[in-house]
Amino acid sequence: MLNRPRLVWLFAGVLLGLATGCGSPSSQATQPDVTQAQVRVPVPGSKMTAGYFTIHNRGLTPLTLTGASSPEALSISLHTTQQTEGTMRMRPLGDLTLAPDEIVRFSPGGRHMMISLMQETPLTAGSDMVINLHFADREDLRVPFRISAL
């Protein structure tokens, strides 16, 4: 049986845990910041385009980006551009792990998303396209990407 001082300390510990969110998934995984999210208007006649963004892992543990999807796209794949034997070549990126507080930029000529659009998806500069970023150990992040002209 617990005596009164021990019971008070136990109750105080439970309250402190509840107040700080201890043990809840949301307290253990801080939302990453995504900025400068944009998708280019495709070249006329093309259903392929590219997407760019900056992601900042604000959490205390590594964050692994595994892919992306959108209801407006047939597929979205992560790529990187590398120079091989004097020629720039696009290669699949695979999973991308960000260390705590690391910032990674997806930009022209480097990491980027290749987006295969559906036939009925017209993209107009100034509008938004929602893209879901997928992670290994957390929920998807729904991000509005601004459509920008070439």
Please write the tens of the pLDDT for every residue from 31-60: 899 999 999 999 888 899 999 999 999 999
Q: How far apart are CA 46 and CA 74, in angstroms?
A: 14
Structure tokens at 142: 């729904």
Q: How far apart are CA 105 and CA 83, in angstroms?
A: 18
Same domain for 24 and 81: no
Same domain for 133 and 75: yes
pLDDT at residue number 77: 97
| Residue 17 predicted with pLDDT over 60 | no
Rounded to the nearest 10 degrees, how much is the dihedral formed by the CA atoms of 148, 83, 96, 122? 20
Number of structural domains the chain divides into = 2
Same domain for 59 and 16: no
Same domain for 11 and 78: no
pLDDT at residue number 118: 83
pLDDT at residue number 1: 54
CATH of residue 110's domain is 2.60.40.1890
pLDDT at residue number 89: 87
Same domain for 37 and 14: no
Averaged pLDDT, 62-83: 95
Q: Is 77 helix (H, G, I), strand (E, B) or coil?
A: strand
- Tens digit of each residue's pLDDT (9 = 90 or more) over 64-73: 999 999 999 9
| Residue 132 predicted with pLDDT over 70 | yes
Q: Is 76 helix (H, G, I), strand (E, B) or coil?
A: strand
- Of 103, 140, 117, 96, the closest CA to residue 39 belongs to 117
| Residue 121 predicted with pLDDT over 90 | no
Structure tokens at 31: 């939302």
For residue 114, the surrounding DSSP H or E stretch is strand 112-117
pLDDT at residue number 83: 81
Q: Is 8 helix (H, G, I), strand (E, B) or coil?
A: helix
Q: Which domain does 7 fall in, by range?
A: 1-28
Beta bridge partners of 41: none
Same domain for 47 and 98: yes
Same domain for 107 and 90: yes
